[in-house]
Structure 1
Amino acid sequence: MTLEWEQVIVDAADPVALGRWWTEALGWVVVNDAADEFEIRPEKDRLPGLLFVPVPEAKTVKNRLHLDFRPDDRDAEVTRLLALGARHADVGQSGDESWVVLVDPEGNEFCVLGSRRN
């Protein structure tokens, strides 16, 4: 059996707004901009993508799955994401980690890891 990772589904109160935020944050492209399924990918024909779908309930607890990103410059990337509307999150980290935990505009946690080693 062969599986191909197509996408990660993200529940959202406003799929279009959240999808557009992630499009800006990641520099990805929109491949479907319907109100009930807003999909973005790294490139039009490149997988995996993120698919934002509407749900009636608000997020109430820490995500059980989150995305990690490794930038060239962690501090610069955190500053850029905060300027786009991300916020710092406390999920119990000690403060000595090499990563920074942020949340998107709807409260979904993600990590910006330590800067890439060349």
Structure 2
Amino acid sequence: MEIAWEALTVDAHDPPPLARWWAQTLGWELMEPVPAGVEVRPPDGRSPSLFFTRADGAKPAKNRLHLDLYAEDRAAAVDGLLARGAARADVGQPDDAACVVLRDPEGNEFCLLEPR
């Protein structure tokens, strides 16, 4: 039996703007919205994708699953993300953590790592 990863689903108060934010952040394509939500796919159309679906209520705590991203110029990427609505996050990481922890405009944590 083969199992393949198709998408990571993200709960959102307002899926279309959050999907647009992530599409711009990753350089991915915003797909046409469907009743269940909005998908963001890599330009080559391959999986996995991000799928944003509507969820009511407040985010209760730190995400138990998050994205780890990297950028060739991490400092410039952090500045650009902050300018577009991201925020720095303190999730208990040490001062010398190998990543910068941020939140997207709806509060979902993600990490920006040093380039590989």
| Fold-level similarity (TM above 0.5) | yes
| SS at 1:8 equivalent | strand
Q: Does 1:37 align with 2:37?
A: yes
What pairs up with 1:58-69 in 2 under 5 angstroms? 58-69=58-69
Quote the offset at 1:60 in angstroms. Answer: 1.8
Distance in 1 separating the partners of 2:76 and 2:35:
32
Structure 1 partner of 2:26: 26
Distance in 2 separating the partners of 1:32 and 1:3:
26
C-alpha distance after superposition, 1:27-65 (max 9, x if no partner): 100123236310001125211000000011121200000
Distance in 2 separating the partners of 1:25 and 1:35:
24
Count, aligned residues = 116
Say if 1:11 and 1:54, in contact at 8 Å, map to a contact too: yes
Distance in 2 separating the partners of 1:45 and 1:14:
24
Q: Does 1:108 align with 2:73?
A: no
4+ aligned runs moved over 4 Å, structure 1: none
Distance in 2 separating the partners of 1:35 and 1:74:
36
Point out where structure 1 has 5 or more consecutive residues left out of the alignment.
none
11-20 vs 69-78, which moves further: 69-78
TM-score normalised by length of structure 1? 0.92
Distance in 1 separating the partners of 2:36 and 2:15:
7
